[in-house]
Each structure stands twice: as C-alpha cells, then as structure tokens.
Amino acid sequence: MKSRLLDPLSEEARAIVSRPWEAAVRRARAERPGTPVVGVFPVFIPFEIVRASGALPLALFGGGGEVEVARADARFQSFVCSIAKTTLELGLRGDLSGLDALLFGSICDVARNLSSVFARNFSPKLHVDYIHYPQNPASPAALDWFEAELGRVLGGLAARFGKKPDEAALEEAIARQDRVRAEIRALYELRREAPARLPTFELYALLRLATALPAEEAAAVLEEARLALTAREVPARDAVRVVVEGAFCEQPPIELIRQMEEAGLAIVDDDFQVGARLFGEVPRGPERPLRRIARAFLENSVRSSVHRPAGAARPERLIERVRAARAEGVVLMAAKFCEPALLDQVLYRRALEAAKIPHLRLEFEEKQWTFERVRSEVETFVESFLFD
C-alpha cells in the first residue's frame, strides 16, 4: 500500500524506509565518502554520541518483513522476539557489512545477548558496543555515572574512527539533533490536533526516514512535510481517538498501522520508534555537553517498559498521556515474545480499568502478512464505543 504522503518522494526514500541498512548506507557512502555509519539498535541511544564521533547514526529496527530467518534461529532460543532474529540474520547474511559500528542499549536480556552474539561473530571487523543504563536513575550517583558511560562509548567510537571528539562537536550534534526532535514533536502535535490530516501510518514512515538520514536532512524533510500537511485539506472523519502503548522496540508493519486506522481508530499518541524522540530539548547551561545529554536522558525522557527515568510510574504516566491527547481508549500493542512489553500490560490494564478507560490488546510481529484478524478486533473495539 502506498502512502499518499510518500507518493511525491523518490524511490530512494521508500527504499530507505524499508531497507535502511542497504539504501541509507549506499547513500551515505555516495554523498559523504569516508564518513563511518553506525547502526543503533533500536535507538534508545542519544544520536549525539554517534554524531560527535564524526559518524552517521542509522536506526536499525531489524529486518521488518524484508528478511527470511534461516541462520539466526540456530543462535537463539525459540521464544524470542523477531527483531532480534532478523537483526542477527542481516548480520549473518552480510547485509550489515556497510556498517562500521553497531551499538546496543541495555533495554532487555535479549538485546544484551544479541550484542554479545554480534561481538563474538563480527568483532573486530565491526566495532560493537553496549551502553549500560543506570539501574536506579533516581540515585544521586546516576548522572555522574551515565555521563562517564556515554563518554566511554563516545571514546570507543572516536578511537575507532581516528577522531578526537571535543565539546564543540558535541554542541553541534546537540543543536542538530534538537532540531530533528523539535520537528518530530511538531508533527506529533499536528497529528494529535488533526489525526485525519496526518494519519499515523504516514507519520510513522516519515519518522522512519528521519532515523536514517543525516540530522540536517532529517530536519529539512520533516519541516517540509509539516508545512505541506498543515495546508492539507481533508474531509472530517469519525474515529475513536486512541493512544498506542507497547511497540517501542520491534516495529509493526506499516500496513498494520494503516489497517487499524482504516478500521476506525485515530491514533493520537504512540510509542512507535520512541527512541527517535527519546527526550525533549537538551538543557542549555554551563554544564559539559555530555553531562547535559545524560541529564536529558535521565530527567526528561520518555518512559517505557525498557526505559525508566525518575518520576511518575509508567501506568500513571500512560493515564496522563491519554488525558493529554484527549483519547477515548488505549491499544496495548506488544510484539510477540517481547517480555518487557507483555509484563507491563498487566500493570497498564489494571490502571486503565481503575480509570475506566477502554482498551484493546493486540499482539504483532514485524513479519506479519495477514491483517484480517486484527482488523476485525479493532472494528469490534470501535463498535463498542458506538453502542456504549
């Protein structure tokens, strides 16, 4: 299914959305020869660290529906999420040979194991590193510790690429990435106010594009889309406003998102590709830039099942998001075998029931080809509002 918004975009942009490890790397090599490309799984890592090392970050969300798992099964237990298997499959097939480094964040045991499997199979040709997040972000020691951890990762990348990162490089990376995040926030705001004008399957594709482009190009693409969308004429449409929660790592097929919307939902807030808008602006001020990035990560970042900054608990924060988005319901949408998301559903359901907020639970896989069952579940959910 073609996105109307992407229609005017080039074939290359479509290829970047569906096969970024190939199309985005080819583009980077052609347009910025000599610039290293660093894969980031799956973007719970401040891109600034990669940019300050002189490299281009590239969000790696597995193989999506593009990869058949043949070799990776032998390295994992059966009950593991698809994104881990298809990411490894890409590596084993040689499809990630265009990457100079690959970073993982400590989001779950599966990501930790995947990082080790990559290090064992592909180091030293591929620089592989694993960022540890503080176990207790509220601890007074967390800021010092995380700043040092980011510095360690940056130092590793810089050594690999023969660079000497300085504060000016970090400041520039912050400014560029802040602009991208500001554009993403503006698009999310636009979608929340007028979901018919910017359906989520289009917003999703735009974000996917932005996570695979250099920051200045990503900001320009998003700004251009925002200006075009603001002027877009669309007929009014009745739909149930919902928040989607749980799809923060493995991503559903875009077609699944489109089917949900066609079945009568207006998604007005979500956690798709949430790492791309992990935090708001990095605070200004006299602190070192790395410390300010660490501070933004710990104090002002989104909350998810695999990222728990200090502050209100996740269920309470979900209820707040529902109210802020003026949503009528919630779709709890977890990837198959994603333990962090599935475990949190118990907490979310309890909180939503207490707050009398209707919710629907959907399970998905990145490699999903049929959508009839999901569509009929969504239609039943939507009808429940009509007859309530």
- Nearest-angstrom CA–CA distance, 258 and 202: 9
Contact predicate 265/8, CB 8 Å: no
Which residue from 13, 56, 102, 108 is in contact with ligand SF4, where contact means CB under 6 A?
A: 108
> Counting contacts by CB under 6 A, is residue 214 touching ligand SF4?
no
Q: Which residue(s) pair with 130 in the sheet?
A: 104
> Counting contacts by CB under 6 A, is residue 43 touching ligand SF4?
no
Cis peptide before 124 (omega within 30 of 0): yes
Q: Which two tokens stand for residue 248?
A: 């923060």
Helix (H), strand (E) at residue 345: helix 339-354
Smallest gap from Cβ 138 to ligand SF4, in A, equals 22
> Counting contacts by CB under 6 A, is residue 332 touching ligand SF4?
no
> Counting contacts by CB under 6 A, is residue 328 touching ligand SF4?
no
> Counting contacts by CB under 6 A, is residue 48 touching ligand SF4?
no
Which residue from 43, 60, 117, 338 is in contact with ligand SF4, where contact means CB under 6 A?
A: 338
Q: Is 162 left (phi over 0), alpha (psi -120 to 50) or beta?
A: left
Which residue from 126, 157, 190, 306 is in contact with ligand SF4, where contact means CB under 6 A?
A: 306
- Nearest-angstrom CA–CA distance, 183 and 171: 19
Distances (CA, A) of 97 to 41, 105, 383: 16, 21, 49
> Counting contacts by CB under 6 A, is residue 362 touching ligand SF4?
no
Among 18-26, 177-185, 273-281, 337-345, the segment contacting ligand SF4 (CB under 6 A): 337-345
Among 125-133, 176-184, 200-208, 338-346, the segment contacting ligand SF4 (CB under 6 A): 338-346
Cα-Cα end-to-end distance for the chain: 33
> Counting contacts by CB under 6 A, is residue 340 touching ligand SF4?
yes
Which residue from 111, 143, 319, 378 is in contact with ligand SF4, where contact means CB under 6 A?
A: 111
Which residue from 316, 339, 377, 379 is in contact with ligand SF4, where contact means CB under 6 A?
A: 339
> Counting contacts by CB under 6 A, is residue 215 touching ligand SF4?
no
> Counting contacts by CB under 6 A, is residue 110 touching ligand SF4?
yes
Smallest gap from Cβ 259 to ligand SF4, in A, equals 21
In the chain, the DSSP E strands lie at 37-41, 56-59, 101-105, 127-131, 240-245, 265-269, 329-335, 359-364
Among 25-33, 103-111, 205-213, 375-383, the segment contacting ligand SF4 (CB under 6 A): 103-111
Q: Smaller CB distance to ligand SF4: residue 5 or 83?
A: 83
> Which residues lie closer than 8 Å to 79 by C-beta, 6 or more apart?
337
> Counting contacts by CB under 6 A, is residue 158 touching ligand SF4?
no
Among 98-106, 175-183, 224-232, 332-340, the segment contacting ligand SF4 (CB under 6 A): 332-340
Q: Smaller CB distance to ligand SF4: residue 67 or 107?
A: 107
> Counting contacts by CB under 6 A, is residue 174 touching ligand SF4?
no
User: What residue type is assigned to position 322 of the chain?
Assistant: V
> Counting contacts by CB under 6 A, is residue 6 touching ligand SF4?
no
Q: Smaller CB distance to ligand SF4: residue 84 or 265?
A: 84
> Counting contacts by CB under 6 A, is residue 274 touching ligand SF4?
no
> Counting contacts by CB under 6 A, is residue 360 touching ligand SF4?
no
> Counting contacts by CB under 6 A, is residue 103 touching ligand SF4?
no
What residues from 234 to 273 belong to the interface with ligand SF4 (CB under 6 A)? Answer: 249-250
The DSSP secondary-structure symbol of 163 reads -
User: What residue type is assigned to position 299 of the chain?
Assistant: E
- Nearest-angstrom CA–CA distance, 10 and 15: 9
Contact predicate 1/10, CB 8 Å: no
- Nearest-angstrom CA–CA distance, 189 and 222: 13
Nearest CA-CA partner of 205 in 247, 253, 237, 248: 253
Interface residues with ligand SF4 (CB under 6 A) are 81, 83-84, 107-108, 110-111, 249-250, 306, 335, 338-341
